Each structure stands twice: as structure tokens, then as C-alpha cells.
Structure 1
């Protein structure tokens, strides 16, 4: 096995998912301007259509034509239906005229339904309704067309374009430039090959992107296929990532499909506020650790008494583990083994049940005490790690921090798990715990967690952890 010697990292680096600074999503102002302008045009079109219908339709004494509240309801319903169908989004969505016809027609049907329930005899005349419906379709389609024509003219003069950066291989460069320029809404401010995403160049690359005010980055699949975790660097920089076309069926879990002209492009959108989701995670960890430490204090005392009565030695076991960016820290646990357990491990290595030998696991480990066996079965030995969570050395959810003995056997590809804050529980623990007998399978679960991470995934894993612990699944 190819191994990599462990080198402790002294300089501080943040979690892969945390932003260096909290900032609003790049390019958000232009997107908001587009949405506000379209909504304003649609409201103007609807008011014009309603006025036309009232003038030329058959008069009928009705609160719908006399009270402003009913006109506002009409506007809200139609605009809401258009928004629900995603017709205020950029690109081909706002030019989806069949979609506009369906949305407007459906909203008119809903208006009829609401009018029937509210006052079945006093809506508007049939001619007024038909004029409003047809003129709404006509005016909104016209305002969308005029908006597009104006936007294209402005972009031809270099206005309202998104500054982008292209990362691609030399053989794909011309083709990718052609695809981007065909869309006629981007300004390519720089081009680089995949080496700019290598670990040694990554920091300077993202510093350059920040300085240039890059809104979106286009990256070829060949440049990113072995670096999917780099997507977090774009995410925390507030830069929308667009992965250029590929024949591969592999798809990043956080991506959506976006059309660049007629070409499908895998897109990972930037958050509205960069780093906000990670700070929610940290605040949640801090609050939960404080509350749980206070609530569980009587249980801590009881477990401490049982450990003291069961075997000689300290109540707590503190072991050096490797945490975020390979920094060493002391993990807290209730002692579940005899006091010289670490020295005895060398004599038990031949009985290791992990196939590749990176981790050490034994189902019937002779070093475990009687009380220790009970504590491990219900994962009660892990409770003191709430102190590590409070101190910011760990999170409630994340890849498990491993002893130096295990990390010294890592291959280079394994070190990606050290880019995020370690946790008390994680995807590995709720997907088999000790029953997983191959470290590569555990790493795959850690990588899946890193790529898919969200606050909701953390909550889901915490709930699954409770179920796993109660059923003692894979615990020993």
C-alpha cells in the first residue's frame, strides 16, 4: 500500500465549507434587476389588459371591477402563477412563451373558481373576462419580447454582461469559448487550464477570482472530475459554477441542469449569502452542546461512578486525534478499556478485523471493561465529546477523527476527509458503524457526506443516529 507520512499542519485554515468572509452572492444585483423589471412590466401589462376589458366588455355591477382589493388579488394570482412556473428565471425560461400562455390561462381559471366560491352571481361579464384573458396573453408576451430585444441591444454594447472565468483543457478551449460566446451574455475575463485548481495553485486562483469580481466560473468536466470537492471553494466564494458539457453520466449531487443556448450545462449555484449555512451549523453545534452538557450532567456523574467502581483508572480517556487540516487535538471519551489499552494494541494487530488494516477494530476486544462494553453498545462513551464540540474542535456531525496510527496509513486521496470539521457522528456511523470492514467503503461515505453536505443532511444524520444507537446497530 502506498502510504503518506503524517505532517502536522500548524497554520490555521478554515473548514472547506466555510467562507473567508460573509458576502452577498456575486451578480445578485443584476438578477434582482431582471426579476423586478419583468414583474413591473407584467403588472403594467395586466393593469392595461384589465382596463381594456372594463372599457370594451359588457358592463356588470360587480365588486371585482369596483374594489381595488380584487384587482390586487388578480395581479398577485397571475404574477404568482408565472413565478411558480419559473418564468422569471434567466435564459430561455423568461422566453418560454408556451409556458406563459399556460400560466396565465391557469391563473384565469383559478380566478373563475375563486369568484364562484366568493360571489357566484357577481364576477364580470363573459366578454370582459375573455378580453382580459386574451389581452393579458398578448401584452405579457409583447413585454417579454421587448425586454429581450432591449437586453440584447444593451449586451451588444457591453452592458449587463456577467464577468466569467473559464477553466478548460487546451484541446477543448476553442469549443468552450464558442459555446459561451454564443449565449451573448458573458464577458470572459480570464482563461486557465486545470492546473489552476491543483492544491498548490488553488488559493491564488480563488484570490484572483475574488479580486476580478468574477460572477460565474465555467469549468470543463475533465478539469474537475477528480476534484469534485473543489466545488465547495466556488460555493464559499459566492461564485456560480457551471460544469461544461460531457458525455459522462456522472452528476454532482448539488448541481442543477442549465441550458447554455441548446447545450445542457451542469450548474452548482452560489448561495445568496456565502458561508451562511456553515455558520448556522456552527451556531447549532454550540447551542446543542451547551444544552446537552447541562441536561446530561446527572448521567455524566452516574457513568463516572460506575467506571470507578468497575476498574481502576481515570474516568475520562483523552486520546490524540487528527482533526481539521491534520491538526492534532485531544478527544474526550469515557474510559471503556483497561488503562494500558494502547500499549496492548500492538499485540492484537494480527486480529484486526478491518481488511486493509488502516483502522483497528475487534468485535471481542479483551481490553474492554464490563462497564465499557455497555457504554460502547449505546455509544455513551462518546458523550464527553460534547466538550470538543463546544471548543470548536469537532462538530455534532462530520467524518470521525482518527488516531495518528490510522492517519499515518492514509493514501493521498484519503486526506480530503481532513478538509472538514470532524464529528461525533456521521454518514459512516449511520450506514453500518463497526460492521463496515473496509476503510475505502468508509471513505466513500465520508466523501458522499462532504459533497452532499447541507444543514438538512446534518439533521437527518442526527435523527438516524438516535435510531442506530437505540437499536445497537453495529456497535461493539
Structure 2
């Protein structure tokens, strides 16, 4: 990753220098050379200071790109202040051309490296060996999660439990139980595990956890402790030391304020831009829908938005006219949807054009008008039907604290293939841990989910 960032930065700086320096070759070294070299050093220095190469943030989540963005913003500030101090007119080139170009190239390179790393991990390579230590039930949950999401980079290779036994004798979901919780440090030093994952168990008192951390000093192992008090992560979770006691500080979710205002501006600008870009496609799709079956091009439906307010959602019509009436009632006993959702993989009401539109989510493009008018956001929870939201309990109703989205965590995680409980968990996670960086990652991953058409029917 360090080599990638260095090469990407050098490539952009050299390309800009060659292009603009060629027009002023006589003064290249004096006017451009110093700025080019200084910009490259500033970028690499900012990346190092912001710990953008920390192994813990590479290869997963939005934190990697958040730190990269923070680093480049720091460089912009330093260059701007330097330009004011030196009264340099050439500094604008590096602020408004070089830094955006460096951001584009480095982020693309990092994303490609991430794809390669995830592919390797799915094949069982580039995984860090993990020793899990805790109760059999919580360790089993950890093993299940690491197998389901190999891109995280963990492979549980050994387990320690209170009595040195697993749920299957000497095995726990096929992973050998190598000893008791008191033997963790010994096994780490002997077998070289890279991660020690401590899961909940009555054995783990503060004193025993502190002694385990001491005993692991000098080894290459990283100690990870799962608090499991609540499923909160991201920018809301902080670790503070109060009176010598380490405390997890959970900040309140952000539903208003500056970041939400920025999100609203980005939503409207993004929707307007996409509507202009997709205008020819949208006109063509509308014509195909009307030619394929009798009825209008658009389908209007009441949905529930922020704070429980209803609004009319726009979609391309993908079913025959009157599909919501008697036709749906006749198919009620064949429902394959999760929870209160009504879904059929092979729905006879869907038209030929509608099948294609649904597979690639083209039918949802008109919702950009909903985003433009402010009833929806580009990213957010799935907008429920009124009858669905009426059945919500107090916990699930937290989905309505923010605007529903054209896409979201549910869209990039399987869509209609998700169990109802998992879809709710993802929506609540978004509501609780929302950030601009997370929105950016979701929008990026949506493109891939749409192209593959997974879970769309």
C-alpha cells in the first residue's frame, strides 16, 4: 500500500509537471520542480501522520478512505497557507488540479488492491491465524462470522475455553480446542498466532485481561476484545481513560447538524447530476415499458419516510396493470419474502421488460426525483410500505429516524435474499453509525451489486 500511494502520487505529480512545465521549460526547475517535490513529500507525510497505512484499517470498511481523505485535505490546507505566505500564484494548480488527481488515482489504486486482497482471502490466502478465547457459544459465533466474511482476513485456527473442551469434544465447529483460557499466552508464543480474539466468558475479569495483555507483550500477536454490550461501531465508538479505567464512550447518533446538511446538499446535487446523465436511458426505458404491456411507464406507490411521514415513490412499472389487487391476493400463499415483505422469485405479474429492469435495478431510477425533492436520500434504509411500518415494534421504528434511501447496506448485502432480521439489523446499523465516508463506500459498492444483480427479483 505504501508503494502504491508513493507511485500514484509520483505519477500524478510527474504528469502535471510534464504537461505544464513543457510550456515553461526555462523556469521548470525554479517554478515547478520545487512545488512538485514538496507536494509529493507533503502527501506522503500526511498519510503517515494520519496513520493511513495502519494494518488495522487496510482492506475493509470506510476508515481507510476516511483517513486518506483527511490526509489529502490536510495537504490542501498546508499548500493554501504556504501559497499565502509565499505569495505564490502557482499554488492554485497543485490545490485544484494535483490534489484532486492524486485523490482519484490513489483511491482507485487502493480499491483495486482491496479487490485483489479480498479475492485472495476467499481462496484461503492472506489470512491471519487467530486464537479465539472465550465461552464455546461466543467463540462459535466468531468462527461462523469469520467463515462467512473471509475478506476481514481472520481464520480461527485454535480455541481456548474455560475447561479446555468444546461443544464437540476436542473440536468446536471443526476448530481444535488447544487448551484452557489460562493457557492462551503460552499457545500464542509457541504457535505464533497473529490475533488473540477474546470473546465473553465469566473467566475474563479485568485483572485476568490485564495480565493476558502483559503476557502477550513482545509477541507479534494483536489482542482484540469483544465487549458485546451493544452493536455500535464506526465514528460513534471511542475509548477513553477515566481515573485510570478504560471506558467505551458511545456518542449519540447524528440526526441533525452540519454533516446532515452536507448530506442533503450532496443528495440533491447527486440526484440532479444523475438525472441529466441518465435522461436518454430513462426516456428509452419509459418507451419500452409502454410498448411491452398496456399501461403507463411509471408506477406510483405510497411509502413511509422520515419520522413516519408518507410520500409517493416513483418507479418504472415492471408488472401488469392491476397487479396490486386481486392478482396479489391470489398469490398470497406463495409468498417467499422475508418478514412482512411480499416477494416471489418467479412472479407471474412481472412483464418481460420488467424482469430485466428489476434484475439491474433500473426500475428504481425514477426515485432520483424523490431524492431531488427531499423525500428520499441517495443512501439510507429501505422505504417501507404503510402496512409494513404499521407492524413495526419500537426498535424497528428507528429505521424511520432518517430518510429512506435509493440504496443502502441492504442493497449491497444481498437485497431480497437477506433474512428479514438481517435486513433490519443492517438498516439499524446504518441509522446508528451513519457517516459521509460510509455513504461513499455504499454508493461505490452499489454499482457492483447492480451489475451482478444478486438478490434482485
Scaled by the length of structure 2, the TM-score of the pair is 0.48
Scaled by the length of structure 1, the TM-score of the pair is 0.46
